[in-house]
Amino acid sequence: MTMTHAQQRTDELAASSRVVARIRDRLRELVEPRTTAETMWVRAHAGPCPTLPAPDAVDVVERTRLLTPEHRGIPVCVVCGFALREGDGQRLVPRPHVVEHPPLLEQLHDAIAGSTAGTSSGGGAVSRPTANLEALDAWTAVDQGVRFWCSVVTDRPAVGEVEVLVVDLIDRAATLDRDDARLVDQDVLRWWARARVVTTWDTPPLKPHVPCMNCDVRGKLQVRLDPLVAVCLACGAAWDSDTIGLLGEHIRITMGEQIPDPRPGDAPSMPSVRSDVSTC
């Protein structure tokens, strides 16, 4: 019995440590830049790269041909830097490409600032792009949520820039009891997921036109595959890789209900994914 209780206590501590680590990782993405490594395919000589001949071994025209830079409209070999011309023989080689992304809060701020840039302060109503309104909503959710939890943890009003408060919450995450850590984890997931979806600029999120399983509003679900995360822009509910299976099953069932049963004599047909899921 003692061993069982000890093992249960060990499992609870391990689970709590994982929750705290997850909270910190997601909060850091809000306030710290991150880098991603991508593979780019670039051109090189198909065979051995040429060597630059001595000035007295070749005429000026041939030497210039080898050294023609890319900015003059001719690509260069990534291995030797010499010009690649038709007839040289070319191949594609992988090269790592590191991209630095600003903090999520900075991206949200830029989107919000962009929505008001150049607008008049007069009395006329000014429309704003939907994406920028979503960024404002995401920013507000983070700001209000972080201030609430900082005031709970410190037992005093949370005052200051939201970025500073996020850092403070990161530092205090380990002091949360198990119940508070679970609630903070759920809230941080919602902030982080919404920010990741709203600030996506490279690959648009999937938008299944089905009702949210939490608030039943249709057309507000957005799913991003890398990282695997989904969010409802209507109610703020969010799912990560641990819980998205429930949402996936809900989407599958709901989309199945939208497909009418074939009439007698009609040939069976598969639903078009493109008509049910938009990626724009």
Question: Parallel, antiparallel, or unpaired for β 221-225 and 228-232?
Answer: antiparallel
Cβ neighbours of residue 221 closer than 8 Å, sequence gap 6 or more:
207, 208, 210, 212, 230, 231, 232, 233, 247, 251
Please report, as a single letter, which amino acid is at residue 87: G
Work out the burial of residue 128: count CB atoms within 10 Å of its CB; fewer than 13 is exposed, 13-18 middle, 19 or more buried.
middle
Q: Give the tens place of pLDDT for each residue, 145-163.
A: 999 999 999 999 999 999 9
Cβ neighbours of residue 252 closer than 8 Å, sequence gap 6 or more:
none
Average model confidence (pLDDT) across the chain: 79
Rounded mean pLDDT, 216-224: 92
Q: Give the tens place of pLDDT for each residue, 169-212.
A: 999 999 999 899 999 999 999 999 999 998 876 577 889 999 99
| Range with top average pLDDT, 67-71, 118-122, 219-223 | 219-223
pLDDT at 23 over 50: yes
Q: How far apart are CA 39 and CA 97, in angstroms?
A: 6
How many CA within 13 A on the CB side of residue 162? Answer: 21
Please state which of the four CATH numbers 1.10.287, 1.10.3470, 2.20.25, 3.40.50 is assigned to the domain occupying 202-260: 2.20.25
Do the beta carbons of residue 76 and residue 82 sit within 8 Å? yes
Measure Cα distances from 100 to 43, 63, 190, 214 in Å.
Answer: 24, 38, 23, 34
pLDDT of residue 81: 78
Angle at 19 between CA 18 and CA 24, to 5 degrees: 100
| Residue among 33, 22, 30 nearest 173 (CA) | 22
pLDDT of residue 79: 84
Rounded mean pLDDT, 131-135: 81
Where is pLDDT greater, at 251 or 256? 251
Ranges of CATH 2.20.25 domains, the chain: 202-260
Rounded mean pLDDT, 119-148: 73
Q: Which residues pair with 229 in a beta bridge?
A: 224
Q: Which residues pair with 37 in a beta bridge?
A: 98
Rounded mean pLDDT, 43-69: 68
**Residue 140 C-alpha from the chain's centroid:** 19
What predicted TM-score, i.e. pTM, was given to this entire model? 0.66
pLDDT of residue 271: 38
| Residue among 182, 181, 149, 183 nearest 168 (CA) | 149
pLDDT of residue 277: 40
